[in-house]
């Protein structure tokens, strides 16, 4: 049996490779088709943690020679993004890098790349600002990408401001039109939002040449497949009741599944594939949850604080009202109407428009992405069951003690108990 490192099998914070599982057929096929069609631009969207990056990286590795990945951050301009793409092409144009027989870059092309690079550097020294010089046009960018056989991945493109995003549509057009010369040239924009148009607002005329791919959260079946794959790679066996628990706790987020399985293994001293099969049981699971809570309680607090932050006093404390109503309703996956009805039971004149605005905001990074919207089902849920349990715990404690939210203190061990209890209740109810 091959020896695998546990940290490379269960990867809660990086794209899975060893334990990568193929996604349901249509998602897989759509992406593979879109990657193969020359000139087809791609937008991948869906909830945070659904597995967009992992799917893309694995498919690119199977189908592509190489790719340039630009990670977008809040506040980045399109100029900065273009420069990042341009800078990352550097190795393909240096003479030392002969990456494959397929890529042959003429000395003229190298000269042109470095000429432009020097111009840009001089330009920055003069202006001391990251503004794009005129010479780096989308056409030239496409030309360098094309010649180096690269496609360009824009990760987390949803974080970019609207007015900056508009420029991408123009660049996509140029990349599309260059596909005759460079069949592999394409832009793949990835965003954690619930419609492709929120990632890139492209022109209607481009519709035929942009593939929109929705990556949903994982089904329980898919979560189980990750666990089975891990079992095989590490020669361990999770008790069947544990598989159900991990599915329940993960609620579609593979990262939670990876985290819990990783903790169960490392707690038992399994750092590489075991020589003889090792069984893992409920005790290991509880310990894993405890560790997870310890590691994530600060993050949970931060998400919650962001979600309910009020910048100025308004008639309604909207985030607070909405989260409370969702928690009181108890179940996951609530429609706009269900939430509105619940709120209006206590605040009869609460405006539907406020709910619409804040449901949108609560999915955004500025509010910790505390909620998520399931496009297929048309309903809202907490972004993870842990966030939900944490919010529940804080709000009930606050109400019970009649203090402000800032004053609520929950010791870690209590938090762990509450988590396990709240998941087990759901579990026992067979939900
Ligand atoms: N197909 C998959 N097989 C196994 N693990 C996966 C798969 N997709 C995602 N994961 C795991 O889930 C977590 C989140 O995935 P990621 O691709 O970062 O999601 P997103 O980009 O949608 O936010 C990572 O820990 C990753 O290892
Ligand atoms: Mg991602």
Protein residue closest via CA to atom 14 of ligand 1: 49
Q: What is the pLDDT at residue 342?
A: 96
Q: What is residue 129's predicted lDDT score, i.e. its pLDDT?
A: 57
User: What is the Å distance from ligand 1's center to 333 Cα?
Assistant: 22
- 24-214 is classed CATH 3.40.50.300: yes
pLDDT at 430: 46
pLDDT of residue 128: 54
In the sheet where 210-214 sits, what is the strand order? 66-71, 150-155, 187-191, 41-45, 210-214
Kindly tell me the sign of the dihedral angle through the C-alpha atoms of 177, 178, 181, 187: negative
388: which residues sit within 8 A by CB, 6+ positions away? 327, 332, 381, 382
What count of residues does the chain have? 431
Residue extents of the structural domains in the chain: 24-214, 220-280, 299-428
Among 3.40.640.10, 1.10.10.10, 2.130.10.10, 3.30.70.2190, what is the CATH number of 299-428?
A: 1.10.10.10
| Pocket-testing residue among 254, 258, 260, 384, ligand 1, by greatest number of atoms within 8 A of Cβ | 254
Pocket test for ligand 1, best of 6, 20, 54 (most atoms within 8 A of CB): 54
Residue among 14, 15, 50, 258 to mutate when testing ligand 1 (max atoms within 8 A of CB): 15
Is there an atom of ligand 1 within 6 Å of 261 CB?
no
Per-residue pLDDT of the chain (431 residues; tens, 9 = 90+): 789 999 999 999 999 999 999 998 789 999 999 999 999 999 999 888 899 999 999 999 998 888 999 999 988 988 889 999 999 998 888 755 555 555 677 888 888 888 888 888 877 666 555 556 667 889 999 999 999 989 999 999 988 988 888 889 889 999 999 988 998 899 999 998 777 887 787 888 888 899 999 998 899 999 999 999 999 999 999 999 999 999 988 888 999 999 999 999 999 999 999 999 999 999 999 899 989 888 888 888 899 999 988 877 788 999 999 999 999 998 889 999 999 999 999 999 999 999 999 999 999 888 999 999 888 788 999 988 888 888 988 888 888 888 777 788 878 888 888 778 777 665 555 44
CA distance 124 to 114: 15
Residue nearest to atom 16 of ligand 1 (CA): 51
Q: Which residues contact 82 (CB under 8 A, 6 or more apart)?
A: 132, 136, 138, 141, 171
CB of 383 shorter than 6 A to ligand 1: no
């Amino acid at each position: 049996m091959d020896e695998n490192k546990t940290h490379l099998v269960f990867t809660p914070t990086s794209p899975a490779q060893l334990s990568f599982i193929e996604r349901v057929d249509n998602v897989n096929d759509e992406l593979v088709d879109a990657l193969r069609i020359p000139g087809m631009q791609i937008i991948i969207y869906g909830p945070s943690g659904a597995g967009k990056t992992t799917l893309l990286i694995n498919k690119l590795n199977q189908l592509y020679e190489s790719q340039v990945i630009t990670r977008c951050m809040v506040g980045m301009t399109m100029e900065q993004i273009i420069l990042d793409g341009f800078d990352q092409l550097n190795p393909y144009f240096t003479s030392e890098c002969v990456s494959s027989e397929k890529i042959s870059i003429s000395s003229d092309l190298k000269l042109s790349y470095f000429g432009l690079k020097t111009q840009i550097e001089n330009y920055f020294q003069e202006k001391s600002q990251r503004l794009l010089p005129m010479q780096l046009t989308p056409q030239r960018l496409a030309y360098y990408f094309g010649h180096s056989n690269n496609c360009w991945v824009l990760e987390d493109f949803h974080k970019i401001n609207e007015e900056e995003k508009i420029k991408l549509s123009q660049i996509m057009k140029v990349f599309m039109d260059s596909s005759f010369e460079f069949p592999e040239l394409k832009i793949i924009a990835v965003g954690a939002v619930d419609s492709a148009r929120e990632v890139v607002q492209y022109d209607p005329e481009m519709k035929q040449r942009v593939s929109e791919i929705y990556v949903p959260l994982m089904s329980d079946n898919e979560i189980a497949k990750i666990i089975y794959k891990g079992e095989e790679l590490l020669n361990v066996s999770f008790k069947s009741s544990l598989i159900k628990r991990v599915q329940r706790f993960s609620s579609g987020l593979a990262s939670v599944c990876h985290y819990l399985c990783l903790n169960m293994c490392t707690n038992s001293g399994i750092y590489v594939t075991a020589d003889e099969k090792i069984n893992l049981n409920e005790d290991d699971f509880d310990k894993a949850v405890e560790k997870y809570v310890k590691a994530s309680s600060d993050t949970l607090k931060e998400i919650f604080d962001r979600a309910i932050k009020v910048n100025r006093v308004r008639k309604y404390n909207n985030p607070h009202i909405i989260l409370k109503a969702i928690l009181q309703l108890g179940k996951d996956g609530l429609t706009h109407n269900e939430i509105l009805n619940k709120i209006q039971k206590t605040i009869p004149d609460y405006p539907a428009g406020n709910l619409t605005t804040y449901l949108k905001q609560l999915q955004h990074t500025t509010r910790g992405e505390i909620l998520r919207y399931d496009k297929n089902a048309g309903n809202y849920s907490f972004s993870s069951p842990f966030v939900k349990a944490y919010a529940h715990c804080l709000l009930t404690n606050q109400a019970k003690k009649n203090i402000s939210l800032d004053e609520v203190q929950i010791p870690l061990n209590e938090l762990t108990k509450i988590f396990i209890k709240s998941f087990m209740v759901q579990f026992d109810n067979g939900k």
